Amino acid sequence: MALPLPGLLSLVMPAHNEAPNMPELMAMVARVLPQLAERFEVVLVDDGSLDGTADAARSSLPEEYRDALRVITHAEKSGYGISVGDGLRAAAGDWIAFSDSDLQFDFTDFLGLATHLNEADLVTGYRQKRADHWKRSVTSGVYNILVTIMYRIRFRDIDCAMKIMSRSYLDAISPIVSRSATINVEMYLKAKQQGLRVKQFPVGHYHRTAGERSGGKIKPIIRAMKELSALQVKINAARAASTTSR
């Protein structure tokens, strides 16, 4: 697909105590997104930050793009899955992308991913070489193996936070039921169940240099493992409720 994408692109980014990263992050947004789509909005989900993350985002984005910034504020930290889900539900775009706010991804990679949106409903990255502590990489590897065993989803690096999708794909997988990192599994699982097209391509991954690392802590991991086992039950319940309400 030729760039820039026609219509409006929504970039969803969860953020918790990422104020130090905002100047470089918003400079990257201003540099890349005008190449990516004709029009864009940035949906920043401020997940209970205590360091002025939202204000830093507003002041860091060049003035000509400040009207494109929408901030969703959580009074208290709700976690990654809830933040991404809230951002996706708020996104108004014809195309929706999401990534993290920690500068571990280069948004230039979205330019390559987006060219494949005529071949797939969801285009995702996988990290060629993870720039994480080895413990986090091991945990992620075990998690991906569990997903493969439980749901027969055979994709690499399922929790990679570089994804771009069509509006029709997001509408098809809604409502989103995950409230943890299993939101990534839900995206792949529903695509598989509904015959939607998914393609993966390698992206870069870089060391965090500022801000507060939130992934890899034991409580979110345990919560994600529990939710992983209950994911299909929740999807079925949401589907039944939707059918009943029609």
Task: Indicate the pTM of the whole model.
Answer: 0.90
DSSP string for residues in 192-215: HHHT--EEEEEE------SS---T
**Half-sphere exposure of 236 toward its Cβ, with a 13 Å CA cutoff?**
4
pLDDT in tens, 221-235: 676 678 888 899 999
pLDDT in tens, 209-218: 886 665 556 6
Task: Map tokens 């494109």 to a residue.
Answer: 68
Q: Which amino acid is at 87?
A: G
Task: Map tokens 């990654």 to a residue.
Answer: 80
pLDDT in tens, 35-91: 999 999 999 999 999 999 999 999 999 999 999 999 999 999 999 999 999 999 999
Whether pLDDT at 148 is above 90? no
Map out the domains of the chain with their CATH numbers.
5-245 (3.90.550.10)
Q: What is the pLDDT of residue 179?
A: 87
Whether pLDDT at 156 is above 80? yes
Q: Which amino acid is at 69?
A: L
Q: What is the mean pLDDT of residues 6-26?
A: 98
Q: What is the pLDDT of residue 243?
A: 73
Q: What is the pLDDT of residue 245?
A: 67
Distance between CA atoms of residues 139 and 42, nearest Å: 30
| Higher pLDDT among residues 136 and 209, named by residue | 209
